[in-house]
C-alpha cells in the first residue's frame, strides 16, 4: 500500500480481495498460513488476501527461492475478459469484485499480465459513458439495473456526476443566487 493510500478505506478493502496461491514449501500448523490452523503441504493451493500474498510472493529466501507463487484471480480470468470484450456494461462488478478497478491496478504491480491494464482501461472507458449519462438524469428510474452493477470507483464517479448536474441546474435556474431587479423609475421619483 502506498503512503497516500494508508488511510483510504477503499484501498484497505480492495486489498482484502483473495488471490489464489500455491505453496512452494511445507508450512507447519504453527505458521497458520491458511488461517485454519492446518499445515500446508508443498504444491497445495489456497487463497490469501492480497495484502499478505503480495509480501509473501515478493519475499525471497537467501537461496533466491520464493515462499509462494500466485495466480491471477478468476475475477480477471479469461471468462470475465471475454464477457467484458463482448459487453462491458453487462458485467456486475458489485458481485464480481466490489473494488474491481482498484484491485486490478494493485494486481498490475504483482502479476505479469500485459493485457490486464488494457482490459481495465477498455472496461472503464465503455462503462463510463453510461455512468455519466445516467448521472445527468436526476431522479430518473431509468438505468437502475445498470447502476446496481457498479463497483465502488464507478459509484463515486456516478455520485460526482449527479452532484455536478445538480449544481449546473441550480446555476442555470439561478436558484443559488437570484438576481433581483430594481425599478429605476421609483428611485428617481423619491
pLDDT in the model for residue 137? 77
As a whole number, mean pLDDT of residues 76-93 equals 92
What pairing do the DSSP bridges indicate for beta strands 45-49 and 68-70? unpaired
pLDDT band at 119 (very low <50, low <70, confident <90, very high): very high
pLDDT band at 168 (very low <50, low <70, confident <90, very high): confident
**In the chain, what is the greatest distance between 2 CA atoms, to the nearest angstrom?**
99
Q: What is the pTM of this model?
A: 0.80
pLDDT in the model for residue 141? 62
pLDDT tens-digit series, residues 30-80: 888 888 888 999 999 999 999 999 999 999 889 988 999 999 999 999 999
The alpha carbon of residue 84 and the mean position of all alpha carbons in its chain are separated, in whole angstroms, by 15
pLDDT in the model for residue 51? 93
pLDDT band at 186 (very low <50, low <70, confident <90, very high): low
Statement: residue 169 has pLDDT above 70: yes
Q: Do 132 and 161 form a contact (C-beta atoms < 8 A)?
A: yes
pLDDT tens-digit series, residues 122-142: 999 999 998 998 888 756 566
Amino acid at each position: 500500500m502506498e503512503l497516500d493510500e494508508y488511510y483510504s478505506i477503499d484501498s484497505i478493502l480492495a486489498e482484502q480481495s483473495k488471490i489464489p496461491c500455491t505453496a512452494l514449501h511445507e508450512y507447519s500448523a504453527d505458521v497458520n498460513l491458511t488461517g485454519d490452523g492446518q499445515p500446508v503441504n508443498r504444491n497445495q493451493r489456497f487463497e490469501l488476501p492480497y495484502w499478505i500474498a503480495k509480501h509473501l510472493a515478493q519475499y525471497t529466501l537467501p537461496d533466491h527461492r520464493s515462499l509462494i507463487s500466485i495466480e491471477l484471480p478468476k475475477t480477471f480470468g479469461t471468462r470475465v475478459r471475454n464477457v467484458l470484450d463482448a459487453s462491458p456494461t453487462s458485467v456486475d462488478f458489485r458481485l464480481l469484485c466490489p473494488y474491481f478497478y482498484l484491485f486490478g491496478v494493485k494486481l498490475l504491480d504483482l502479476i505479469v499480465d500485459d493485457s490486464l491494464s488494457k482490459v481495465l482501461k477498455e472496461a472503464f472507458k465503455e462503462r463510463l459513458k453510461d455512468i455519466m449519462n445516467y448521472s445527468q438524469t436526476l431522479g430518473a428510474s431509468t438505468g437502475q439495473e445498470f447502476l446496481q452493477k457498479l463497483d465502488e470507483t464507478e459509484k463515486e464517479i456516478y455520485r460526482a456526476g449527479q452532484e455536478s448536474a445538480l449544481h449546473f441546474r441550480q446555476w442555470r435556474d439561478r436558484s443559488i443566487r437570484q438576481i433581483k431587479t430594481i425599478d429605476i423609475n421609483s428611485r428617481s421619483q423619491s
